[in-house]
Chains A and B, each alone.
Chain A
Amino acid sequence: MSSQIGLLPIILISIGVAFDLVGALGLIRLPDVYNRLQAATKCVTLGTFLVLMGVLAHTGWNAMGIKALLAAIFVLWTSPTGSHALARGAHIAGVKLWEGSVVDKYKEDTGR
């Protein structure tokens, strides 16, 4: 591992951080928990994935790079599952949709 950071890791990590930032902005700007989860899931998944790929590109195939790769795979796999659990839990707990929402089939069908 060299202390000099190459071009590819810098590009990957910069794009990743930029998408993480958009996800954070979405958390603030969007109106309700479901819309916020949308922003949080998509942007933070890709953002974190790219940051970890940047780490892999920087360190190469050693202990740290492999850990970054495994973490990236787990993030990609588990973050949609986590957001599903949060959204379902919020809905069951009675968190209302934003007033501008057009339809709620889940409530119509399950009565929750």
Chain B
Amino acid sequence: MDTLKRRLLDLTIYFALWLLLTWSLDWQGVVVGAVLAVLFALGLSGLLPEKAERLFSPVRLFWAVMHLLSLLFWIIVANFDVLYRVLHPDLPIRPGIVKIKTTLKSDEAKAFLANSITLTPGTLTIDIIDDWLYVHWINVHENLEDTEAITRDIAGRFEVTLRRVFD
């Protein structure tokens, strides 16, 4: 997608967001929103990643919805996990920072993987360096040298769907 198209798409998103937030079609508000949308689209670097158009396919959207559903499920599990650990009198935690190696290629996929890991039971992404994600794990229960098993435990359930969305 060339630059102009991407800018126009950015502008549309900003303007739609303005309309949703103000929720009125009063002409003064609409004019202000349009001016701001143009300024933002021109002034800020792009909202969408490079080659964003390849993401708009029905198959990818289907897997994006699947990913969101599984994420929602794991967020709820994560909350009951925290509930259990916080309310348990003995505070059953065994924390540590482990590293996992992701097989995802694109930056967007890695970013979504990192955010998904943070929202799921007992894990919090601290940094991404190349293919390695450094994750704070509240209950380390794998052999520390077994990177594959740790990766499977922490990232496996999301890599399946994210690979189909982004890579």
Question: Which residues on A are within 8 Å of B, measured CB to CB?
Answer: 19, 22-23, 25-26, 29-32, 34-35, 37-39, 41-43, 45-46, 62-63, 66-67, 70, 76-77, 80-81, 83-84, 87-88, 91, 97-98, 100-107, 109-110
Name which residue of chain A comes closest to B76, CB basis.
Answer: A46
A29, B20: Cβ atoms under 8 Å?
no
The listed residue (B17, B85, B119, B127) touching A45 by CB distance below 8 A is B119
B98, A105: Cβ atoms under 8 Å?
yes
Which of B5-13, B47-55, B133-141, B158-166 binds A?
A: B133-141
B82, A29: Cβ atoms under 8 Å?
no
Q: How far is the CB of B1 from chain A (nearest CB, A)?
A: 23
The docked-state distance in angstroms from the alpha carbon of A38 to that of B82 is: 8
The docked-state distance in angstroms from the alpha carbon of A5 to that of B68 is: 29
Name which residue of chain B comes closest to A39, CB basis.
Answer: B82
Contacts of B81 in A (CB 8 A): 42
The listed residue (B87, B119, B129, B136) touching A25 by CB distance below 8 A is B87
A81, B99: Cβ atoms under 8 Å?
no
A105, B134: Cβ atoms under 8 Å?
yes
Q: Which secondary structure dominates where chain A touches chain B?
A: helix
A22, B87: Cβ atoms under 8 Å?
yes
B38 interface residue (CB < 8 Å to A): no
B95, A98: Cβ atoms under 8 Å?
yes
7 additional contacts (CB under 8 A) given A22-B83, A103-B144? A22-B87, A38-B82, A43-B79, A43-B82, A46-B75, A67-B21, A91-B126
A81, B21: Cβ atoms under 8 Å?
no
A97, B97: Cβ atoms under 8 Å?
yes
Name which residue of chain B comes closest to A37, CB basis.
Answer: B124
The docked-state distance in angstroms from the alpha carbon of A98 to that of B140 is: 14
The docked-state distance in angstroms from the alpha carbon of A10 to that of B95 is: 36
Contacts of B116 in A (CB 8 A): 80
The listed residue (A84, A88, A102) touching B140 by CB distance below 8 A is A102
